[in-house]
Amino acid sequence: MPVPSTPETAPIRPVDDPQARAEAARLLRAGRLVAFPTETVYGLGADATDENAVARIFAAKDRPRFNPLISHVPDAMSAFALGEATPAAERLAAAHWPGPLTMVLRRRTGCPIAWLTSAGLETVALRVPGSAAARALLAEAGRPIAAPSANRSGRVSPTTAAHVAEELGDRVALILDGGPCPVGLESTVVDLSGARPRLLRPGAVTREQLEAVLGPVELAVAGDAIAAPGMLASHYAPQAAVRLNATDRRPGEAFLDFGATRGDADLDLSRSGDPVEAAARLFASLRDLDRPGIAAIAVAPVPEAGLGAAINDRLRRAAAPRG
């Protein structure tokens, strides 16, 4: 009989220790999860360009939905290599980066951020954190780091390394400790990808501060509720129709399999039936099959277990009647 394994708790090391940061950067580049402090809250970090690493963020958080994630970079130049700079974005960067501000920008051609990170959207959310230690880590990692708050879904955002250990200690490779977060509230999210700036999530940088730089800023949310981007009309949906729980293939359809049920599938989310691998490939696969001449994408049944629930939630919304 195998002995039940005790879940291991990740080591907690000071973010000011260059060796600890070097180890964290190495783990991130290897696709592992690392929790790190920012001035707002602790982040659950993964390589934003590695779809499998990002899928592990969702698995670790037990997230019910694939919301788009913020990618963290060490400076504005790195941000504008990923998202399209506009004059407004440049002014805002000069005024508030580094700091508790996230900009949603149009994805540049060739942007390496994984489609799962941006939930299939043509935009990317970018932030240069105020914490110098966090920026040093990002510079060392050498790639954008996707990081939602380091708590399980539906729980309070962690502002100390001890909170992170309680929430996710058995699910991350390393926790970097930078003491209590000075802001304690998630960053302000402003969308600069459209004709007019829109405030998607209020935060430490106030609307008044944004308007001093940008002029009028529309409110996308009432009060301090967090906009659920999965519910926004702009959320990615393929041009082709989507047919769920498909076991046959009809004329004009592309077939997206799960668990190798058919020999003639165009793509398989996971031949071995692994929901984490399937999550990693979901948005890229839908994009791939969404070609001219394809009437519908037929998708094999995906079991609800683990990330299957989030995959099915996204597929149901992709299949819902369009307005």
* Contact call for residue 70 and ligand TXA (CB under 6 A): yes
* Segment interacting with ligand TXA (CB under 6 A) among 144-152, 251-259, 278-286, 310-318: 144-152
β-strands 198-201, 188-191 pairing:
antiparallel
Q: 281 by DSSP, 3-state: which?
A: helix
The one-character DSSP state at 221 is S
Instruction: Report the partner that residue 187 touches, choosing among ligand TXA, Mg ion, none (CB closer than 5 to 8 A by kind).
Output: ligand TXA
CA pseudo-torsion sign 92, 104, 181, 32: negative
Q: Is 149 in the site for Mg ion (CB under 5 A)?
A: yes
Minimum distance, C-beta of residue 120 to ligand TXA, in the bound complex (Å) = 9
187 binds Mg ion (CB under 5 A): no
First to last CA, the chain: 56
Residue 63 interface partner, choices Mg ion, ligand TXA, none, CB cut-off 5-8 Å depending on type: none
Residue ranges in 205-234 that form contacts with ligand TXA under rule CB under 6 A = 226-227, 229
Point out which residues pair with 198 in neighbouring strands. Answer: 191, 218
Q: Smallest distance, Å, CB 41 to Mg ion?
A: 7
Q: Interface with ligand TXA includes 159 (CB under 6 A)?
A: no
| Residue 235 and residue 317 in contact, taking contact as beta carbons nearer than 8 Å | yes
Q: What are the start-end ranges of the H helices in the chain?
A: 18-29, 51-61, 76-82, 87-96, 132-141, 161-168, 207-214, 275-289, 308-319
Please report whether residue 312 would count as binding Mg ion according to CB under 5 A.
no
Q: Backbone phi, then psi, for 210, in 5-degree steps?
A: -65, -45
- C-alpha to C-alpha distance for 183 and 193, rounded to whole angstroms: 26
Question: Shortest CA distance to 319 belongs to which of 289, 298, 301?
Answer: 298
User: How many residues are given for the chain?
Assistant: 323
Candidates 60, 68, 199, 319; binder of ligand TXA (CB under 6 A) is 68
**Site membership for Mg ion, residue 102 (CB under 5 A):** no
Whole-number Å distance between alpha carbons of 89 and 91 = 5
- Report the C-alpha gap between 72 and 128 in whole angstroms: 6
Residue 187 lies near ligand TXA (rule: CB under 6 A): yes
Cα 268 from Cα 317, distance rounded (Å): 20
Query: Residue 14: beta bridge partners?
Result: 177
90-129 footprint of ligand TXA as x/- string (CB under 6 A):
------------x-x-------------x--x-xxx-x--
Count the site residues for ligand TXA by CB under 6 A. 28
Report the nearest approach of ligand TXA to the CB of residue 67 (Å). 6
Q: Which residue type sits at 147?
A: A
Asked whether position 186 contacts ligand TXA by CB under 6 A, the answer is yes
Question: Which of Mg ion, ligand TXA, none sits in contact with 69, Cβ below 5 to 8 A by type?
Answer: ligand TXA
Smallest separation (angstroms) from ligand TXA to the CB of 109: 16
Task: Give the count of residues interacting with Mg ion (CB under 5 A).
Answer: 1
Query: Footprint of Mg ion on this chain (CB under 5 A)?
Result: 149
Query: Footprint of ligand TXA on this chain (CB under 6 A)?
Result: 38, 40-41, 43, 67-70, 102, 104, 118, 121, 123-125, 127, 147-149, 186-187, 189, 191, 200-201, 226-227, 229
